[in-house]
Each structure stands twice: as structure tokens, then as C-alpha cells.
Structure 1
């Protein structure tokens, strides 16, 4: 595992764990980390991580509105 050190201004009021959660949540959101990897990095269970990421504006489902509409249309057409 790599170690990254980041210097933040004193005016940024984040502790190390919260900064790690922000970074890991974003890496999960863009698909760089799996759910299991992300949860492990912040020392949480997968369930705890899934419940927490919404507080950081991250969705478990990385659907764009267009993709969601297309998938819904596909489901509807199959059910006819």
C-alpha cells in the first residue's frame, strides 16, 4: 500500500481520518477503489462505509441521469 502525505493549511479544520474519508469516498465514486477496498482503507465494514458515504455526497450508484432513464426504458420495454 502507498503512503501519501498532504500538507493542509491550518485553516482547514479536518482531522486525518476525515481527510482520508473524503479522499477514499471520491476514489470510490470515480471507480478507482472497490467498495471493499474503500471500506478497508477507512477501517470500516462495507456496511458502515455504504451508510457513511451519503454524508459526503457520494452515491453507491454511479448512474448519470441519462443512464438511469435508459435503463428504466429498457426495463419497461421488457415488461410489455
Structure 2
């Protein structure tokens, strides 16, 4: 896994955890990471990541029509 260093202004009042979660949730939302990969970045279990995802404005459910069709076919 790659390590990235970020310089963040001191006046931004967010904990390291929040930065990790914001980045992980955005990458998950954009389908760049799976839920498991995003959970690793956030330092959480997959279940915990999915449970708090909504707190960061991201839905667990895909908005893609193709994903919906695939889910219906697999149901």
C-alpha cells in the first residue's frame, strides 16, 4: 500500500480519522476502491465502514443502473 503525506492547514478542525474516512468514502463512492479496501484506509472493519458511510454523505447502495440490473439478475 502507498503512503501519502498531506499538509493540512492548522485551522482545519478535523481529526486524522475524519480525513481518512473522507478520502476512503469518496474513493468508494467513485468506485475506485471496494468497501474492503476503503475500510482498510479508514482503519475500520468492512462492516463498521459501511455502517458509518452515511455520516459522510455516501450511500452504501450504488446509483448505477447497470449495478441495479445486475443485483436484480442475481437476486
Pair in the same fold by TM > 0.5: yes
Match of 2:39 in 1: 39
Structure 1 length-normalised TM? 0.74
Structure-2 residue corresponding to 1:63: 63
What RMSD, in angstroms, separates the aligned Cα atoms of the two structures?
1.8
Q: Which residue of 1 aligns with 2:30?
A: 30
Unaligned 5+ runs, structure 2:
none
- Give the greater-gyration-radius structure (CA): 1
Match of 2:55, SS state, is: helix
Q: Which residue of 2 aligns with 1:52?
A: 52
- The answer for unaligned runs of 5 or more in structure 1 is 76-80
Paired residues, what number? 68
In the alignment, is residue 17 of structure 1 matched against residue 17 of structure 2?
A: yes
TM-score of the superposed pair, with normalisation by structure 2: 0.79
